[in-house]
Structures are given as structure tokens and as C-alpha cells.
Amino acid sequence: MMTVEQDGPRVAEYLIVAGLSETSRSLEEGLQNDSHLKASSTPNEPITDVAVILRGHGEKVPAGFTCIETTPTGFPADLSHGCIGSPNIYLCIKRGFDKPPLTDIG
């Protein structure tokens, strides 16, 4: 058996394979079967405006905007989620064909 001095420093001594059971699905299969992650069959109007509101301070969703309250996987979309003492901050979007779509946010 070789010692560390002979072999050099090691990152790990052992390799463990863990996490998959006999009923586990592959990542690719899981993504294909999760309908909430699939693209909509009907295209949405492009996003033309973005607003950030502090619902914790009583701000309302601006007229014509839609507040994004949950992620596609159902988690809270509160931008300050998990921050103690922070107000609820949400992203709002406006869609339409009345002006060019947003292509960059700087």
C-alpha cells in the first residue's frame, strides 16, 4: 500500500454512487413528462414592459401589467423570499404588440 507521501495529496479516498432508486426517472424523461415546464402551444404576446413592486409596502400591480407570483414549478416568485424583514418584492410584466418587445435589460 502506498502512503500519501508516495502517492501525493488526494482529493477523495472513496467514490460513492447514491441518489437513484429502482423507480427513479432520468432527468431528460422527467423534463419531458412535466407539463408545467413545456412550452405553451399558443405563443404569448411579447413582453414590452417590466415593473418591480413592493407588495409588502402596499404597492399594487400597475394597470395593464401581470404580476408573476409563482415560478413555473410552483415556488414563490417573491424576489426577496427568504430574506428576514424584507418586503415582498415581485416582478410584473406587460405584454402586447403596441410597441417593440424587450430584448435586453440593462
Residue 42 grid cell: 399558443
Query: Which residues make beta-bridge pairs with 53?
Result: 90
Q: CB count, 10 Å around CB of 92?
A: 19
pLDDT at 90 over 90: yes
pTM of the model: 0.59
The average pLDDT across 3-31 equals 61
pLDDT at 92 over 80: yes
User: pLDDT value at position 42?
Assistant: 64
Q: Which helix (H) or strand (E) holds 6?
A: helix 4-7
Place of cell 404576446: 45
User: pLDDT value at position 81?
Assistant: 82
Residue 49 grid cell: 414592459
Residue 67 grid cell: 404580476
Summarised one tens digit per residue, pLDDT across range 28-87 is: 665 555 555 555 556 788 999 999 999 888 899 999 999 999 988 888 899 888 888 888
